Amino acid sequence: MAACVPDLTNVSMLSPLGFKLGINAQEFKYLEYFCTSVTFPAIALPAAETKYTNMYAPLAGDSLRYDPLSVSFILDEDMKNYLEIYNWLYKNSKESIVYRDLTLSILTNQSNPNIIVQYMGAAPTGLSSFEFNTQNTDIQYLTCTVDFAYTSFKFVVT
């Protein structure tokens, strides 16, 4: 029986610096531009317990659970990127919820799109706090994080 050997002739490691976030709407251009990090969400298939004779046995569940997509960004001086998300959250709390699709492009070591992850039906669920502080000895630009809920995501290989 032949061993299963992967083709390792052209393998590059995935860089944490190679990504680009896109939102399918013009009103979020500042968030896209100032995005500094994206936390790729965890997914789980929680176990369901079933009674088996005198014990409970875990079985694979039937519904995927997605963690939120967390996006961090540097605040610009006019807070335009913060206001983009704040206004989206505020409108969703007062009117019908607006959903957008988000696109995370994972780049090669040559900065070309390699894998595209599409998050469908995304809406912000939280916007983190940030702190003004006169005791800092050097300038550390303020950052903020927004969490997005979404209905599903899929991979598109380019």
Instruction: Tell me what pLDDT residue 144 has.
Output: 95
pLDDT at 38 over 90: yes
- Rounded Cα distance between 125 and 70, Å, is 10
Give 54-88 pLDDT, tens digit per residue.
787 777 777 888 999 999 999 999 999 999 999 99
pLDDT at 134 over 80: yes
* Across 8-12, 19-23, 106-110, 137-141, least confident range: 8-12
Domain contains 48: no
Q: Where in the sequence is the domain holding 69, given as residue range(s)?
A: 19-40+65-157
Residue 148 lies in a domain: yes
Long-range pairs, 10-16, Cβ under 8 A, ≥24: 12/108, 12/109, 14/106, 15/107, 15/109
pLDDT of residue 1: 56
Instruction: Please report, for the domain that includes residue 28, its CATH number.
Output: 2.30.110.20
**φ and ψ at 5, to 5 degrees?**
-115, 125
Looking at residue 34, the DSSP 8-state letter turns out to be H
- Going by their DSSP bridges, the two strands 35-39 and 65-66 should be labelled as unpaired
**Residue 106 domain-assigned (yes or no):** yes
Question: pLDDT value at position 63?
Answer: 83
Number of domains present in the structure of the chain: 1
